[in-house]
Chains A and B, each alone.
Chain A
Amino acid sequence: MVQHHQRSGKQSGKGPIGIAMLAGLFVFAAALAAWAGQPSLQSSETAAGGARTGFAVAADQAEGDQTGRDSANGSADGFDEFDEFDEFDGETGSKPVADPLSGYNRWMTGVNDKLYFWVLKPAATGYAKVTPAVARRSVGRFFKNLGYPLRFVNNLLQLKIRRAGVETARFVVNTTVGVAGFADPARWWMDLEAYPEDFGQTLGHYGVGGGWHLVLPVMGPSNLRDAVSKVPDRFLNPVAYVDPSEVSIAISAYDRINYTSLHLGEYERLKQDAVDWYIFLRNAYEQNRKKKIQE
Chain B
Amino acid sequence: MTMRPGIEMKIAEEASSQRTVAPTEEHYTSSFEQKKSGDEGTINIISFFLGLDEYAFEVADAVEVLRPRQVTEVPRTPDWIKGILCVRGEMVPVVDLRMRLGLGASESRPSSRILVVAVEDTKAGLMVDRLSGVREVPQSLVGPPEEAGPNALFTKGVINAGERMIRLLDAWALVDAEGQ
A associates with B: no
**Which A residues are within 8 Å of any B CB, using their own CB?**
none
